[in-house]
Structure 1
């Protein structure tokens, strides 16, 4: 069994759902054009939105193949930190309950990626 099996499973489901659903629903295009472009990223908003979703999608496969774990984690943490700054910070801490759309979920995901970085990876080779 892979180290951090449950952590990898949870991150994979979250990243898959966050990327695949928004691609098929068209939300990724709306996020790029209707949000990112309007806050100063024009004309790159659409491309940035797609880059985020593709990073999430490819991260799933890299996490399970034990490749580029540090790079995957750093890229996703960077995206999550930018999400906190541009979207969630103004809404406070809570995602639900004491508020809505807050930073708590992003903070938890950042900690999960930190755990992946700092867990010693399995040896690849056998004698």
Structure 2
């Protein structure tokens, strides 16, 4: 079984749903025009929104190929950090329960990507020593 199979599976499903649904519903365009443009990214808000969604979409597949795990992790971690800063921080910690739209889910995703990234790094390092 591939290392971190369960983390890769969960991240793949989450990123797939997060990208495909918003692409087909038109939310990605609204996010770019109605949010990103208004917080200072105009006139590039829509392009940035599409870049984020396409990174998530391509990550679904690239996360399964060990040479791309580190790059996929870094790109997604940066997206989630900016998401925390721009959107979720003002809402506190909780996504549901003690609040809404907080940072807890993004923090969990960042930790999953860090685990994936550093597990792969250490396994590659061990393989190089034994060669």
TM-score (norm 2): 0.91
1:76 aligns with 2:76: yes
Q: Report the CA distance between 1:65 and its aligned residue.
A: 2.3
List runs of 5+ in structure 2 lacking aligned partners.
none
2:92 — aligned with what?
92
Richer in helix (by share): 2
Cα-Cα RMSD: 1.1
Aligned mates of 1:67, 1:31 — CA distance in 2: 31
Aligned mates of 2:47, 2:102 — CA distance in 1: 25
Deviation string for 1:32-71 (max 9, x for gaps)?
A: 0000000010000000000000000111111112231111
Aligned mates of 2:85, 2:101 — CA distance in 1: 12
List runs of 5+ in structure 1 lacking aligned partners.
none
1:56 — aligned with what?
56
Equivalent position SS for 2:63: helix
Aligned mates of 1:67, 1:103 — CA distance in 2: 29
Aligned mates of 1:119, 1:24 — CA distance in 2: 34
TM-score (norm 1): 0.94
Flag as ranges the 4+ runs of structure 1 deviating above 3 A: 120-123
Aligned mates of 1:79, 1:89 — CA distance in 2: 14
Aligned mates of 1:90, 1:29 — CA distance in 2: 23
Give the paired residue count: 123
2:8 — aligned with what?
8
